[in-house]
Amino acid sequence: MDDIKRYMETLGRAARAAAQELARTGTAQKNAALDAIAAAILREKAALLAANAEDLAAARASGLEAALLDRLTLSGKGVDDMAAGVRQVAELPDPVGEMTDLRYRPSGIQVGRMRVPLGVIGIIYEARPNVTADAAALCLKSGNAAILRGGSEAIKSNRAIAALIREGLQAANLPSAAVQMVETADRAAVGELITLREFVDVIVPRGGKGLIARLREEARVPMIQHLDGNCHVYLEASADPEKALAIVENAKTQRYGTCNTAESLLIDANAATRLLPPIAAMLEAKGVEIRGCPRTCALIPAARAADEEDYAREYLAPIISVKVVAGLDEAIAHINRYSSRHTDAIVTENHGFAMRFLREVDSSSVMINASTRFADGFEYGLGAEIGISTDKIHARGPVGLEGLTCRKWVVLGSGQVRG
């Protein structure tokens, strides 16, 4: 235990030193490292696939479930995509150093903000080797040092990727401690990482709800976290039926397992008989189970009764909860009560209702006449995301390079003193 503590402190101290160097590294040098990493990944495709095959064999032998095996698997295309992702991050604008809002004050000083890296970022993730390259690229481009702790099932894949990242860093004359991997499989390392306040500025956990809930209890370092995606679509009485059908279909059925998938459908009582039957028919045709309130069940014979818990659930499955509501007020109140504050959408042709929904729904993304599936860093133009935050502090929603930075104050004077 003491050994793990010392090991993590060693990583932390090296990361802090590297972060100070990265903070003053120019864009060209960071991009050179990213390009070298991408090239090394492509060059060593066969070696990466071999390392991944070893992980997969061990995981199969230990009986890892199919969904986790799927995430652990690197294909040839997966390696190509990983390299392309790193190159894409190189092409994004560098957020570091941007100065804004420089205004003169009556005292004669000029006050503004400068965007700077957070410092050292700890990433804790499950057995998905591609996250190793993604997270490293985003941290590096934003001038942060990274400490990566991936799932132990992916240890050989991750080691192989980490070696190529180090190679790229060295090629660009950057400290290899800019991206470090936690090499021990001991779970105590995670406990140390999330309490290493002296050396770690923020933790980004990427994984299931169980992992994140546990980390949240124990963390002493701030986290950019995402617990749940219980997303709603509300069909207001004036909703266009074609838009409503298309948006519900896309939001619920395009992919069942993503966090921006709709899990709950609210319909205005004045439009339920008009809007609900064709939507229910579409859902039934796609094999989606409907769990509804009594009025829903009266309109849709195939629906089964929803209980209270259904409205709070992230199904991640072909199931949707449906509720008929009296109007906008009840819809907003229901969403603010049950939503996980991820993404919620209204379908309406009424401007006033649209604006009220936009203002009053307290979620990281609020949408008018668009599918919840758009809540995504690429769709929003961030280029890539390190995660989607359902917290309110620091960053909300998709977190890209900007979310890995903060803004300090800069004061330009010419000898001023305070009166």
Complex with its own copies: residue 20 or 238, whichever CB lies closer: 20
> Where does this chain touch its own copies (CB under 8 A) — which range of 85-93, 180-188, 249-257, 289-297?
249-257
Site string for its own copies, 307-336 (x = CB under 8 A): -----------------------------x
Residue 65 or 309: the one with the smaller Cβ distance to its own copies is 309
**Contact residue for its own copies among 64, 138, 227, 247 (CB under 8 A):** 247
Place of tokens 């230990």: 62
C-beta of residue 121 within 8 angstroms of C-beta of residue 414: no
**Positions in 115-134 near its own copies (CB under 8 A):** 116, 118-119
Residue closer to its own copies, measured from CB, 250 or 340: 250
Count of positions on this chain that bind its own copies (CB under 8 A): 70
User: Is 369 within 8 Å of 351 (Cβ atoms)?
Assistant: no
Query: In sequence order, what are the residues at sequence separation of 6 or more whose Cβ sits closer than 8 angstroms to the Cβ of residue 337?
Result: none
Residues 6+ apart with CB under 8 A from 169: 33, 36, 37, 140, 175, 176, 178, 179
Site string for its own copies, 342-361 (x = CB under 8 A): ---x----------x-xxx-
Q: Does 243 bind its own copies (CB under 8 A)?
A: yes
Rounded Cα distance between 303 and 273, Å, is 15
The pair of structure tokens assigned to 324 is 């008929």
Q: Are 373 and 345 in contact (CB under 8 A)?
A: no
Q: Is 202 in the site for its own copies (CB under 8 A)?
A: yes
Q: For residues 111 and 163, which CB has a smaller minimum distance to its own copies in the complex?
A: 111
Q: Report the nearest approach of its own copies to the CB of residue 56 (Å).
A: 31
Q: Does 141 bind its own copies (CB under 8 A)?
A: no
Identify residues 40-99 at the interface with its own copies (CB under 8 A).
Answer: 97
- Which neighbouring-strand residues pair with 121? 146, 202
The whole-angstrom separation of Cα 207 and Cα 224 is 12
For the chain, what is the radius of gyration of the CA atoms?
24
Phi, psi of 185 (to 5 degrees): -85, -5
Whole-angstrom Cα distance, residue 238 to residue 272? 11
Site string for its own copies, 250-289 (x = CB under 8 A): xx--x-----------------------------------
- 3-state DSSP call for residue 321? strand
Among 103, 210, 287, 309, binds its own copies (CB under 8 A): 103
Residue with tokens 């002493």: 220
The answer to the question of residue 173 lying near its own copies (CB under 8 A) is: no
Q: Which is nearer to its own copies, 37 or 121 (CB)?
A: 121
List binders of its own copies among 368-407 (CB under 8 A). Answer: 368-371, 373-375, 379-381, 391-394, 396-398, 406-407
Instruction: Measure the CA–CA gap between 168 and 365, rounded to whole angstroms.
Output: 36
Single-letter amino acid code for the residue at 342: H
Residue 217 within binding range of its own copies, rule CB under 8 A: yes
CB nearer to its own copies: give 226 or 396. 396
Q: Which residues pair with 114 in a beta bridge?
A: 99, 408
Specify the residue, 155 or 361, whose C-beta has the smaller distance to its own copies: 361
Residue 295 vs residues 62, 291, 326: alpha-carbon distances, Å: 48, 11, 11
Task: Provide the minimum distance between the beta carbon of 120 and its own copies in the complex, in angstroms, as a whole number.
Answer: 10
Phi and psi (nearest 5°) for 237? -60, -30
In the complex, minimum distance from the CB of residue 98 to its own copies, in angstroms, rounded to a whole number: 11
Distance in angstroms (rounded) separating the CA atoms of residues 252 and 411: 50
Please identify which residue in 39, 246, 282, 312 interacts with its own copies, judged by CB under 8 A: 246
Residues binding its own copies (CB under 8 A)? 20, 23-24, 97, 103, 105, 107, 109, 111, 114, 116, 118-119, 201-202, 216-217, 220, 222, 240, 242-243, 246-247, 249-251, 254, 336, 345, 356, 358-360, 362-371, 373-375, 379-381, 391-394, 396-398, 406-418
